[in-house]
Structure 1
Amino acid sequence: MASTENSASSPKARHLTPIRWALPIVVVTLLASLLGVMYLDYIVDPEKNLHDFPIALVNQDDGDDLGTPEKPQKVNFGDQVAKGLQDAVPSDKIDLRVLGINEAQLQMQSAQVYGTIIIPSDFSKRLGILGVGSVVPGEISKPVITLQTNPRTGAFATAITQKFGEQALSQVQEQVGKQLTEQVKAELAPAPGGPPAPELTAATTLVLAEPLDIVVDQFRPLPGGSGEGLTAFFYSLLLLLIGMVGAMIIHQLIDSALGFLPTEWGPWYVHYPKAPISRVRTLLLKWAAVVTMAVLVSAALMAIAEGLGMPIDKPLLLFIYGAFVITAVGVTCTSTLAAVGTAGLIINLIIFIILGLPSSGGTVPIEATPKYFGWLANFEPMHQVFLGTRSILYFEGNAQAGLARGFWMSALGLAIGLVFGLGITAYYDRKGLERKPSAEAATPA
């Protein structure tokens, strides 16, 4: 039978001592400070934090023969450009991977690289034609170097790739321009006793100074409704928040219904009689509620996303993955609450939110954050959830693009939550540690 006594009027009500009054303020201040460090440190200076940022370099240049039949001269300007890029790019910031075109495309499709620099097969031939054509009438075209961005890895990663390409290829433009200008001047140099060399016109000088056509292109552009690559991050955030917050709500309401916690409705205070149920059975009841919630909420999120026009190529896979992630997070959170009680709220907040969001890689790539974020990303739930969601939404569920890691890490988290929750509650039950007020708490102050 429910009781409706007002706790403030109870003679056993305990007054807050200064230490008890100050404790929540200290806890919130410490959490806020940790939150400030984590969130500001990863966004303040991404360029300074840049490390191991993967870019592919593809050199398809076949070279060309610029000599005469008597003195053949085989040249490969593509090799020179590739070597110059490798020497100029800071290896501590950029991981420049020299790959074939097929391997580079595979790594782009699986989100292993953020961009690709492509030197085409006719690069030397076109550069040689440009050198000759700059002083001979006729139509000529500049040799092309293509910078392919990978927009499905995120807008911030694309911006970093474009900035890198602008800086690195500008140096290539300048170096090739100087080399080509010197080569043309050498070819125009007069023979001993011959007529003077013709002067290069201003237009020719300008063409030779900037001989390359640098093209920025998108590799598999994102479809409309993808939020410039942010829908994967926010969908992942929803799955994580629902799993964590949903578990806390389920924990609170079931404990209230079983009489372990009081329930307040406005000015009314209700405390139901304590149900004769073990800790293990209570936890199993909460887990059943979490699983049911996960299925219903995943379906609701799918319907909302579809209604808002968000492109989903694999809806069934996203629904299953979403329900699985919510279940894994919810089970782990309820196990933490069952093990440590109210302090579990703080633990869950630190693990899933304070440490998780900055190390997710969903907005700023891990390679553009301080290195300890990369360490956190090895096990933090948010990063694993994001990789799986991004793979389903943008990379057709490619296992190598993050789905395999997202699934197995979520499965590991679920297993840890199940074993930990059952182990600790069974231990409490065997020790006779029932959920009831301690003798000290029951004694009037």
Structure 2
Amino acid sequence: MNRVHPFRVLRAKPLWIANGVIVGVLALLFTVFYVGANVDPAGHLRKLPVGLVDADKGAAADGKRIDLGARITESIEKSTAGGDKIDWKVMSEKEAKEELGKGKLYGALLVPADFSSSVTALSATTATADPVRPRLTVLTNQSAGSLGSSLARAATTTAAESASLQVGKELTARIPPAQQAKLPAAARVLLADPAAVTVEDGHPLDSHSGLGLTAFYYALVLVVCGMLAANVISGQVDHALGYTHNDMGPRRVHRPLLRATRVQTLAIATTLMAALSVLMGTLVLAGAVGIMGMDASHLPLLWLYSVAAIAVCGIGALTLLAVFGTPGMLLVTLVFIAMAVPTAGATTPLQALPDFYRFLAEFEPLRQITGGVRSILYYDAQGDAGLTRGWIMLAVGLGAACLFGFGVTRLYDRKGLHRVPEEDAVPTKAAVAAR
């Protein structure tokens, strides 16, 4: 008896071609999405929102009223040195604090109330030998993303230093040389560059907040749980209905075939996904907060949002698997991982991404979920800090998944595109008894 050795299958060209194309495309796409989005964030930076606060009350000098704070903010706002990289937003100190506390600003520059009076004092002949240097304060916001905060800090610090030099040049030009000679040496040095630039945290986070990244990683866990659960549930439902076998180590189990339409199969899997999302959401919250000690508040809301996010991601993944079959697994990986992570706006701000990635960010699930989690963890669950958008996009995603999934599978059923031939799908009495 001649028996063909199994390894002869390696001689089949279609096997090599099909697998080569699939893994090659995946490798290329992952590279494009991950590296392409982060290769030059500073070069792609555009309209990064940064606050510009003028709290200066002005001062009197030589019988005239001067307001150096207004001059600085106007100079920075109109400056074209940075092109359109920074979107300077002039606002009050209270408004800046509120915007920082909602993650809508990546940083801010604060001109203090005594700035003009402090600078004017440097040019007074009665100035002390050790004059007090006025300050310009750069406020950072790590809760909006560490990279975005760093980009805002660098741009704001540069703008503040340039403004200080410009003010120093104007003051020096206005003071006669004879009067400058009477100033203390320290005052003359500071007069050319009067302002000291200091950096402060504009929205401090708790110590167990991962420097503003716990929201992203928590949201990523929710998405991955939904995606992986969908793969598991899809396979187990097919096994329970008898469409596929189940390998448990060396043991192979195959159940009798039960007739089920594609719509019914998707409905069974969706029901399991919705129910098991409660378990997964509970365990994720317990693991992150209870075991790992992640700082979190509004725990009931965080639990509810976690369950909803896992359910929506899982049902979305089940839809792709039901509609596209085996290729659906690749689509799930691309949608929920490859395209999602670079466009989440957590590691790299959306304002520092190329236009194509900004487009993807409008509907990618991880970005929407991260915004909601960030609002709950960092911004006191304020709706306009990302939570409202998160809930809306979850609802839209669930509706789209259900319409697409059940609509297409119903179309398959109506056209007679059953998963097994009709005559093989009816279980015998012996098969039913065995179940």
Per the TM superposition, whether the score is higher than 0.5 is yes
Alignment partner of 2:96 out of 104, 109, 128: 104
- 2:172 partner amino acid: T
Partner Cα separation in structure 1 for residue 187 and residue 408 of structure 2: 80
Q: 1:247 to 1:431 in 2, by over 3 A?
A: same
Partner Cα separation in structure 2 for residue 63 and residue 415 of structure 1: 56
What corresponds to 1:171 in structure 2? 162
* Secondary structure of 2:116 counterpart: helix
Q: 1:259 to 1:142 in 2, by over 3 A?
A: same
Q: Is the contact made by 1:132 and 1:184 (CA closer than 8 Å) also made in structure 2?
A: no
1:400 aligns with 2:400: no
Output the TM-score relative to the length of structure 1.
0.88
Partner Cα separation in structure 1 for residue 55 and residue 242 of structure 2: 72
What corresponds to 2:428 in structure 1? none
Q: CA deviation at 1:438?
A: 11
Alignment partner of 1:117 out of 98, 109, 115: 109
- After TM superposition, which residue ranges in structure 1, 4 or more long, deviate above 6 angstroms? 8-11, 13-16
Partner Cα separation in structure 2 for residue 33 and residue 311 of structure 1: 37
Q: Deviations over 1:181-227 (max 9, x none)?
A: 233335x35xxxxxxx8465543332222311322111231101111
Output the TM-score relative to the length of structure 2.
0.90
Partner Cα separation in structure 1 for residue 18 and residue 304 of structure 2: 42
Partner Cα separation in structure 2 for residue 204 and residue 185 of structure 1: 15
What corresponds to 1:266 in structure 2? 249
Partner Cα separation in structure 2 for residue 76 and residue 421 of structure 1: 63
Q: Deviations over 1:228-283 (max 9, x none)?
A: 11111110110001111110111011101211122223344443221122222211
- 1:255 partner amino acid: D
Partner Cα separation in structure 2 for residue 378 and residue 303 of structure 1: 30
Q: 1:14 to 1:42 in 2, by over 3 A?
A: closer
What corresponds to 2:415 in structure 1? 431
Q: 1:332 to 1:268 in 2, by over 3 A?
A: same
Partner Cα separation in structure 2 for residue 238 and residue 9 of structure 1: 46
1:281 aligns with 2:264: yes
What corresponds to 1:78 in structure 2? 69
Q: Deviations over 1:92-113 (max 9, x none)?
A: 1111111122322222121111
Q: CA deviation at 1:395?
A: 0.7
Q: Percent identity?
A: 33
Alignment partner of 1:184 out of 175, 186, 196: 175
- 2:135 partner amino acid: V
* Secondary structure of 2:88 counterpart: strand
1:255 aligns with 2:238: yes
Structure 1: gaps of 5 or more residues: 1-7, 190-196, 440-445
Q: Is the contact made by 1:52 and 1:91 (CA closer than 8 Å) also made in structure 2?
A: no
1:422 aligns with 2:414: no
* Secondary structure of 1:85 counterpart: helix
* Secondary structure of 1:259 counterpart: coil
Alignment partner of 1:373 out of 354, 357, 367: 357
Q: CA deviation at 1:46?
A: 1.5
What corresponds to 2:334 in structure 1? 350
Alignment partner of 1:222 out of 205, 208, 216: 205
Partner Cα separation in structure 2 for residue 154 and residue 185 of structure 1: 48
- 1:283 partner amino acid: L
1:141 aligns with 2:125: no
Q: Deviations over 1:325-357 (max 9, x none)?
A: 111111111111111111111111111111111
Alignment partner of 1:27 out of 1, 22, 26: 22
- 1:309 partner amino acid: G
* Secondary structure of 2:123 counterpart: helix
* Secondary structure of 1:42 counterpart: helix
Q: CA deviation at 1:437?
A: 6.3
* Secondary structure of 2:124 counterpart: helix
Q: CA deviation at 1:9?
A: 9.4
Partner Cα separation in structure 2 for residue 139 and residue 25 of structure 1: 73
- 2:176 partner amino acid: K
Q: Deviations over 1:361-389 (max 9, x none)?
A: 11111112222211111111111111111
RMSD: 2.5
Q: Is the contact made by 2:344 and 2:366 (CA closer than 8 Å) also made in structure 1?
A: yes
* Secondary structure of 2:137 counterpart: strand
Q: Deviations over 1:80-103 (max 9, x none)?
A: 111221233524111111112232
Q: CA deviation at 1:138?
A: 6.4
Q: Deviations over 1:275-328 (max 9, x none)?
A: 122222211111111112211011001111122111111111111001001111
What corresponds to 1:5 in structure 2? none
Matches within 5 A, 1:42-61: 42-61=37-56
Structure 2: gaps of 5 or more residues: 424-435
* Secondary structure of 1:132 counterpart: coil
Moved more, 386-395 or 419-428: 419-428
Q: Is the contact made by 2:104 and 2:144 (CA closer than 8 Å) also made in structure 1?
A: no
Q: CA deviation at 1:163?
A: 1.2
Moved more, 90-99 or 424-433: 424-433
Q: Is the contact made by 2:121 and 2:127 (CA closer than 8 Å) also made in structure 1?
A: no
Q: 1:176 to 1:356 in 2, by over 3 A?
A: same
Q: 1:94 to 1:123 in 2, by over 3 A?
A: same
Partner Cα separation in structure 2 for residue 438 and residue 282 of structure 1: 16
Partner Cα separation in structure 1 for residue 101 and residue 386 of structure 2: 11
Q: Deviations over 1:119-151 (max 9, x none)?
A: 122221221122215x53366422221111112
Q: CA deviation at 1:430?
A: 2.3
Moved more, 121-130 or 292-301: 121-130
Moved more, 220-229 or 142-151: 142-151
Matches within 5 A, 1:284-295: 284-295=267-278
Q: Is the contact made by 2:157 and 2:197 (CA closer than 8 Å) also made in structure 1?
A: no
- 2:278 partner amino acid: V
Partner Cα separation in structure 2 for residue 366 and residue 29 of structure 1: 28
